[in-house]
Every structure is written in C-alpha cells, then in structure tokens.
Amino acid sequence: MQELSPTARTRIRRMPHRAVYDRATLHAILDEGIVCHMGFVVGEQPYVIPTAYAREGETLYLHGSSASRSLKTLGSGLTVCVTVTLIDGLVLSRAIFTHSIDYRSVVVLGTAAPVLDPAEKLRVLHALSEQLVPGRWKDVRPPNPKELKATLVLAMPLKEVSVKVRNGPPIDEDEDLDSSAWAGELPMRTEYLDPIDDPRLSPGITAPDYVINYRRPGSKPAEPMVGTNNGSSQSE
Amino acid sequence: MQELSPTARTRIRRMPHRAVYDRATLHAILDEGIVCHMGFVVGEQPYVIPTAYAREGETLYLHGSSASRSLKTLGSGLTVCVTVTLIDGLVLSRAIFTHSIDYRSVVVLGTAAPVLDPAEKLRVLHALSEQLVPGRWKDVRPPNPKELKATLVLAMPLKEVSVKVRNGPPIDEDEDLDSSAWAGELPMRTEYLDPIDDPRLSPGITAPDYVINYRRPGSKPAEPMVGTNNGSSQSE
C-alpha cells in the first residue's frame, strides 16, 4: 500500500500513535465526508469556510461560487489548508482528563488553483456531483455556459497531508480503574431521514433509489479501522 | 431579541438572504455542535484543526493540550477564525447548478487568549464537560493539578460573528419545473448508537441515562428555524 510521506509541517508530533500513513485511509475519510473546512489568509486574518469538495485520484477539488469573496481571493492560487473531520463518537473514561472523541481527520496543506478550462470544469463538476449524490447527474439538467462560468472550482494536490484517527475504548490510568463510573464509547453516525418532496413536485414523481437508500461510502457504525491505533491516555 | 452587529469583515455579502442576525440562532448552533474548526496562521500558512469547544454567555472556549504545537502557537493570543458547521441535509433540485446543502454555520473572528488562572481554568473545563456530556463531571475524577497544567483553554469573545442558515425546498428556475426528475430534500441528523462498554469495566456497572439518552441540544429532524430564510437560486 502506498504510504504518505509526511513533511516537517505535516508530521504529527502530538500523539504520533494517532497518525495514519496510508493512502487508503486518507481516501476513505475524504470520500465519506460531505463538506471540508477550507482555511485561507486575507491580510493577517485567517478565514475558515465550509464548502463541498470531491477527491479524484490524488487531487482534491473544492467547489464554490465565482461570486464568493472568499473563493475569489483563492482564485489566483492562494495558500490554503483544507480539513475534513468525521466524528465517530464520544469516549467516556473515569477521569475528566482522559475523556476524548472518536474521530477521523485529514489536513491538506498546499495551493488551491482554479480550474479554468470549461470542459475540464464540467468534468470536475460531474465528479463533485457523483461524490455527493451518485447517480444524480444523469437525471437533471447539466450546467449551461452561464452557470458554468458562475461556478468556481479549485484544485489542489493531495501531497502534503496528515491523517489522524482516534478510536477504541477509553484509556484510563490504572489507579482510576476502581471508579464506580461507567466507562466506554458512545458511537455516532449520520442518519438519513425520509426524503421530503419539493412542494412544487409534479404528481407521480417519486424519490429515486439513490435518494431513498442514500449513504456515504464507508459510513458504518464504529468499526475498528485498519492501520490505526487505539486510544490514548491524553484528553484531546 | 439581541441582534448581531456585523462588521465589514463579517457582513455577509454573498447570499445575504442566508445571513441570520439574532443571537438566539448563533447560540443554538454553537450549543449543538461538538467540534469547531479553528484556523490560525503560522508564517504565511493557514492551519485548520478540529477541536472541542464550549460557549458560555458571549464567550467561546476552545480546548486542547498544552503539548500541542498548534495550540501553543495560539497561547500568546493569536488571531483566529473559528467555524462551526452543522449539516442538515442535501437539497436536490432539477438542475445541477441549483443543488445545495442544508446547513447552519457560525464563523467567529477574533483573538483567542489562554485562560491561565487555575481556578478559572477548572471552571471552564467544567463548562466544556457539561456542554459535551451534561452530568458527566460529577461522576468521574476531576483534573489534578498536573492534568490541569497540561490542558490549554483558550477564550475568545463572540463579538465579530457571522451566522448563515440554508434550509427549505430546492429553488429551481421556472423553466426547469417540467423536469421528470424528483426534487426535494434528504434530511440528515446525527444518530447515537448503543453505548459500548469499556472492556475493563467492572461487572455490574451500566451506562447512565445521560449516555443512553444522549442527544445534542436542539438536534431534531429538519425543522424550520426561526428567523431564517429559505432556499436560494444559487448552487452554493
């Protein structure tokens, strides 16, 4: 399996046992997420905005509107940090300090550059659509030239990347084990409710299978992940 | 109801109809979230890291470890952006361009400064614990002086804030309404699974009610929110 090669900036110094260095885990986290948090700097002020994204191979694509002030700033190819975090549960231990959160996160550093070629942009939008709702693109009207122009797509390579995973039971100090408190994990996942019809929906049109059975890839209840380490005696 | 006063940096220029300017909505979003994404700058590189937080009145507290390189940098009182995003569902319309995501987000700009006084830090950790798992603190061992020292708590005022909400049905162009495609919303929420006992749990100890019936405040299926606007004809 191909491994990530951490740089000085992405090598995980804090809780290095939580660092994960294989691309399969990186890809799985990115493919399961729905929005990323993109950080960029204007003047000396950092901004962090949520936005849709897609992964294709070793490239991350970010989606926004050309009218957006924040993404406009990025359009020239600015330095960004893109973070995707999946929360898998709460970890309740016998001391406040050792409480934790089960999570999987990816941090990508690099330069985001706009995709300008209309054909390439259309191809990427298709990939974005398929990542978010597989099967949807073919059912609806594709972007027209005006809409395509109003959409900003940014690309950044998955080069300088760090991946962290925390899962497994709480790690208490031995001297806390005689506590009378319950300890364990409370797993969480995303639940999809029944689709809500658009009030303007024409009679006789029903939600397709890809909506009724919608599920993010890899989203399962709190299964141990391959290549990760369990727990920690720290509180973060 | 007290209103937020947007500054030049937090006034929402893009999709201003999605801006929400009441503190009750701001508080509700912050109180429902579990992690925030905190952005800060080192050199010219932005970093975005997920971390636990709590709101108390008009102050946001961020939680981390004193050993963390990233939070150490912040300790001197650096400029940050803290973003909390709740994803409420997918919005499927009749054209790719008008697809959207139902979400609620808060962006806070400002300076995060460390809470140094041990008594105040302990008080804030209690608030953080109660925000994450109400009722837990009294059941477990509180932080000892060493643990308290190893925990970093940052405080920032909820002064320069923007709140955005998107909910409601898809907004299609009239000319797309004769599409044969289904349109509507797919609501999502966080589901809590059965607690998993710590393998080292002593026999006879069972999960308390606050774990079994755990739920974030305000987390309900896709209810319309007070003071918000519906939909948009844009794709973001």
Number of domains forming the structure of chain A: 1
ipTM: 0.88
Distance CA A222, CA A90 (A): 11
Provide the CATH number for the domain around residue B44.
Answer: 2.30.110.10
Residue B34: inside a domain: yes
d(Cα B77, Cα B74) in Å, to the nearest integer? 5
The closest CB to that of A198, out of B141, B151, B184, belongs to B184
* Contact between A10 and A35 (Cβ < 8 Å): no
Helix, strand, coil percent content, chain A, rounded in steps of 5 = 20, 40, 40
Q: Which residues of A touch B90 (CB under 8 A)?
A: 132-133, 214
**Quick check: A230 pLDDT over 60?**
no
The first and second tokens of residue B23, run together, are 């503190």
More confident residue, A219 or B82: B82
Q: For position A225, what pLDDT does the model report?
A: 43
Percent above pLDDT 70 for chain A: 80
Of the candidates A53, A39, A165, A19, the residue with the CA atom closest to the CA atom of residue A102: A165
Q: Which residue has the tokens 């941090």?
A: A107
Distance from CA of B121 to the nearest CA of A (A): 13
A218: left (phi over 0), alpha (psi -120 to 50) or beta: left
Taken as a whole, chain B contains a residue count of 236
- Residues A133, B90: C-beta atoms closer than 8 Å: yes
The pLDDT-based confidence of B58 (bands split at 50, 70, 90) is very high
Q: Amino acid identity of B206?
A: T
pLDDT, residue A220, reads 54
Q: Note the pLDDT tens digit of each residue in A189-228.
A: 999 999 999 999 999 999 999 999 999 997 654 444 443 3
- The residue type at A156: M
Q: What is the mean pLDDT of residues A21-41?
A: 94
CA A3 to chain B, closest CA, distance in angstroms equals 22
**Has residue A179 been placed in a domain?**
yes
Q: Burial, B5: exposed, middle or buried (Cβ in 10 Å; 0-12, 13-18, 19+)?
A: exposed
| Residue A63: pLDDT over 50 | yes
| Backbone CA torsion sign across A76, A57, A123, A29 | negative
For A:148-177, CB contacts with B below 8 A are 150-151, 169-170, 172, 176-177
Residues of B in contact with A186 (CB under 8 A): 192-193, 195-196, 211, 214
CA distance A92 to chain B (A): 9
CA distance to partner chain A, nearest, from residue B224 (Å): 13
Q: Which residues of chain B neighbour A129 with C-beta distances below 8 Å?
A: 96, 99
> Residue A92 and residue B55: Cα distance in Å, rounded?
21
CB contact under 8 A, B83 and A37: yes
Question: CA nearest B220 in A: which residue?
Answer: A193
Return the pLDDT at A139.
98
**Using CB atoms and an 8 Å cut-off, which of residues 185-224 of chain A contact chain B?**
185-202, 205-208, 211, 214, 221-222
How many beta-carbon pairs under 8 angstroms link A with B? 315
Share of chain B above pLDDT 70, in %: 80
Cite the DSSP H helix spans in chain B.
23-32, 69-74, 118-132, 145-150, 209-212
What is the residue-averaged pLDDT of chain B?
86
In chain B, % of residues over pLDDT 90: 72
From the list A81, A141, A151, which residue is nearest B47 (CB)?
A: A81
pTM (two decimals) = 0.88
B221 or B167, greater pLDDT:
B167
Confidence label for B222 from pLDDT (cuts 50, 70 and 90): very low
Task: Check A13 against B197: CB less than 8 A apart.
Answer: no
Do A21 and A3 form a contact (C-beta atoms < 8 A)?
yes
- What distance separates the 2 farthest-apart alpha carbons in chain A? 67
In a domain, A2, yes or no: no
Q: Give the structural domain span for A97.
A: 16-212
Residue B60 placed within a domain: yes
Domain annotation covers residue A66 = yes
Cβ B186 vs Cβ A195: under 8 Å = yes
Provide mean pLDDT across the span A6-10.
69
Confidence category of residue A144, pLDDT binned at 50, 70, 90:
very high
Least confident of A90-99, B73-82, B101-110, B141-150: B73-82
* Mean per-residue pLDDT, B197-203: 96
Q: Which residues of A touch B96 (CB under 8 A)?
A: 125, 129, 136-137, 140-143, 147
A131 close to B (CB below 8 A): no
Burial class (CB in 10 A: 0-12, 13-18, 19+), A109: buried
E-strand ranges in A33-144 read 35-42, 45-56, 59-65, 78-92, 100-114
Average pLDDT of span B91-102: 96
pLDDT for residue A174: 95
* Average of per-residue pLDDT across B125-136: 96
pLDDT of B72 > 90? The answer is: no
Residue B234 pLDDT class (50, 70, 90 cuts):
very low
What is the three-class DSSP state of A7? coil
Domain presence at residue A69: yes
Please check the confidence at residue B39 and state whether its pLDDT lies above 80: yes
Interface touch A50/B105, C-beta < 8 Å: yes
DSSP string, B125-137: HHHHHHHHSTT-G
Q: Are A229 and A93 in contact, with CB atoms under 8 Å apart? A: no
Contacts of B214 in chain A (CB under 8 A): 90, 186
Mutate to test the interface with A, among B49, B79, B96 (most CBs of A within 10 A): B96
Nearest by Cα to B221 from A192, A50, A35? A192
Identity of the residue in B48, B96, B189 whose CB atom sits nearest the CB atom of A129: B96
Within a domain: B62: yes
Rounded mean pLDDT, B79-106: 96
Residues B186, A211: C-beta atoms closer than 8 Å:
yes
Residue A110 touches chain B, beta carbons under 8 Å: no
Mean per-residue pLDDT for B113-139? 95
Tokens matching residue B170: 């898809």
Q: Would the CB atoms of A95 and B143 count as touching at under 8 Å?
A: yes
SS3 state at B24: helix
φ, ψ dihedrals at A132, nearest 5°: -85, -50
Whether A124 has a pLDDT exceeding 90, the answer reads yes
- Report the sign of the C-alpha dihedral through residues A61, A63, A67, A71, in that order: negative
Amino acid A227: pLDDT:
38
The amino acid that residue B31 corresponds to is D
pLDDT interval class at B218 (50, 70, 90): confident
Of B13, B189, B235, the CB nearest to A69: B13
- Residue A236 inside a domain? The answer is no
Structure tokens at B51: 């971390």
